[in-house]
């Protein structure tokens, strides 16, 4: 059994806290309007035995695969938005944090542009 908590920190930092004494962090670094750099770092408590060490290594290997799968959805969304076939992207009440993030970013950009 597993469980996690995920916290998003504006503008580009995420921390995921996993139940079995480890956590990971994400950084998203914009490079251009069409690309970004994704960095992920895993942090573990020292293993008490070989089985715990093997579990940590397995987590590290699978982290890469899961990140690639999750990233693929972001690429697909970006490709769709870049095509401009869809010009509105509605958000529902379950995505209130996304909506708030977009409002704060717009406010910051507008304040910067004066």
pLDDT digits (tens, 9 = 90+) for 18-38: 877 889 998 988 888 778 888
* pLDDT over 70 at 80, yes or no: yes
What residues contact 4, with CB distance under 8 A and at least 6 apart?
16, 17, 18, 19
Kindly report whether the global pTM for this prediction surpasses the value 0.85.
no
The rounded mean pLDDT for the chain is 84
- Sequence-ordered strand ranges (E) for 10-112: 13-18, 22-32, 35-44
pLDDT at 73: 80
- Collect all residues with Cβ–Cβ distance below 8 Å to 11 and sequence separation of at least 6: 105
pLDDT of residue 86: 79
What are the Cα distances from residue 43, in Å, to 40, 49, 97, 112, 113? 10, 17, 27, 36, 39
Beta bridge partner(s), residue 24? 16, 42
What does the domain layout of the chain look like in residue ranges?
4-113
Q: Is residue 36 within 8 Å of residue 26, measured between CB atoms?
A: no
Give the whole-number percent of the chain exceeding pLDDT 70: 93
Question: Residue 2: pLDDT above 60?
Answer: no
Report the DSSP beta bridge partners of residue 28.
Answer: 38
Dig out the tokens for 25 from the structure.
């962090």
Say if residue 11 is preceded by a cis peptide, omega within 30 of 0: yes
pLDDT score, position 1: 42
pLDDT computed for residue 29 by the predictor: 86
The band of 93, judged by pLDDT with boundaries at 50, 70 and 90, is low
Whether the per-residue pLDDT at 105 is higher than 70: the answer is: yes
Report pLDDT for 94. Answer: 67
């Amino acid at each position: 059994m597993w469980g996690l908590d995920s916290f998003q920190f504006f503008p580009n930092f995420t921390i995921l806290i996993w139940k079995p004494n480890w956590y990971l962090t994400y950084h998203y670094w914009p490079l251009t309007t069409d690309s970004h750099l994704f960095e992920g770092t895993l942090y573990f408590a020292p293993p008490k035995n070989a089985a715990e060490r093997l579990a940590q290594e397995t987590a590290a290997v699978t982290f890469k695969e899961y990140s690639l799968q999750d990233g693929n959805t972001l690429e697909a969304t970006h490709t769709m938005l870049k095509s401009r076939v869809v010009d509105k992207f509605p958000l529902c009440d379950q995505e209130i944090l996304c909506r708030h993030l977009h409002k704060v970013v717009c406010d910051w950009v507008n304040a910067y542009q004066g």
